[in-house]
Structure 1
């Protein structure tokens, strides 16, 4: 589909531009956006003007750069409170962190990718990719695979189409067939592993957070390093992780969450 024929019209184009600016992680010039965008110069300029006028972007007139606007902070805060598991899960993450002494991750699915919505550092913190607010791949993370394993067939197909299957380490499952086989095994045992699939030395045990009807609300993991523990030891925590996930799911029953895609 051409840029001018975006299925979601002007709103879809504007969101694409916001995503482009966000991916840079720093203020970005018009010329840099133009090289990445599928839109004509005039269309991109018009979208940037509209987003700036609406406070979704800010323009530095001296540097000629665009950055995400403060209005997005307000919207993000509202989304965090209304759609994120983080506010209601907070005491349960604290409980799991205290009992395990390891890093705890809470995640939800966002357009086939993992959105980390909260985290508790280990008693001895370890530097790793996953941080609250970051987006990571679903196919090679414990929380991602836990959510994919319980996804509906339609949601799974959509998510698989969005995976890059880039080989991050020697342990990465780098094809859809390998991943689907792993997802069946995850369903059978009730929990997922990250076997150094995204980062060398980082391992985890993860479980899905499911509603009473089986809908995937998110996922919870206990993460550590191969220098400190083993997958077998983390698996020994799976019952505790499932108990905490069930508490979060029960608490979430009184909330309204958007369907996870």
Structure 2
């Protein structure tokens, strides 16, 4: 279970508790939440009751469990449509999926982590960790490394020490120094690789989504399995990925700053 973020104030504490309840990925009893929380029993109970009253948590009296509420679903949908790349990227992900036949991921950074925004499954579906809405590690995923490589230096230096560097597979990067070297290589190549870094058998190639001013906006990847293909073959999709990333960046810039674009046709939804 992920530790609670250090936050002060009522809102920060409430968000910490929401994160904690969400991390169970199932309805959860009070004592289970308490065992993972740094708040005193009375404080935690009061926060939970307030969240239930506001509709962001629900409480099942029969089973005595807490779960995320439908108000969060509405907020999440609004965030997805208003703040993420997902809506403008949708047609480009679909086209990429049809062209490659492989799994396609769209992601942005959520602090030091990767937030998967959207996904297109391969023609022959592969079971893997990533799903839209899930948060994963940045240091050992293709999309994560592609985004880290193009962060401003001050932001990168802040985020690198926050990576866990946990060894998931024999290929996992396990030190800040090793990651820094790989990020330098990614900047030279223009793409990142996942060499079964996070999951055994899962490989991918990813490229950053960069604005016209070279601001990192997100990343897109083509993912497959080592049993079905090779990294060499996945590398052949780099031009398609870069083309899709450019179109997503253009559409996103028009969407956010329409006065800077000449025509609205660049945004396809």
TM-score interval, smaller chain: over 0.9
Q: Is structure 2 residue 89 aligned with structure 1 residue 89?
A: yes
Q: Is structure 2 residue 182 aligned with structure 1 residue 182?
A: yes
Q: How big is the shift at 1:128? A: 0.9
| In 1, Cα distance between equivalents of 2:160 and 2:188 | 20
Q: Is structure 2 residue 251 aligned with structure 1 residue 251?
A: yes
TM, length-normalised to structure 1 = 0.94
| In 1, Cα distance between equivalents of 2:11 and 2:126 | 40
Match of 1:116 in 2: 116
What are structure 2's unaligned runs of at least 5 residues? 1-5, 258-269
Q: How big is the shift at 1:157? A: 2.4
Match of 2:138 in 1: 138
Summarize deviations over 1:36-63 as a string: whole Å, max 9, x none.
1111111111111111110010111121
Q: How big is the shift at 1:31? A: 1.0
Kindly indicate whether the alpha-carbon contact (under 8 Å) linking 2:7 and 2:13 is maintained by their aligned counterparts in 1: no
Summarize deviations over 1:213-236 as a string: whole Å, max 9, x none.
111111000011111111111111
Q: Is structure 2 residue 54 aligned with structure 1 residue 67?
A: no
Kindly indicate whether the alpha-carbon contact (under 8 Å) linking 1:193 and 1:206 is maintained by their aligned counterparts in 2: yes
Name segments (4+ residues, structure 1) moved above 4 Å.
none
Helix, strand or coil at the partner of 1:253: helix
Match of 1:3 in 2: none
| In 2, Cα distance between equivalents of 1:67 and 1:221 | 32
Instruction: Report how many aligned residue pairs link the two structures.
Output: 252
| In 1, Cα distance between equivalents of 2:7 and 2:233 | 48
**Pairing 1:70-219 to 2, within 5 Å after superposition:** 70-219=70-219
Kindly indicate whether the alpha-carbon contact (under 8 Å) linking 1:83 and 1:256 is maintained by their aligned counterparts in 2: no
What are structure 1's unaligned runs of at least 5 residues? 1-5
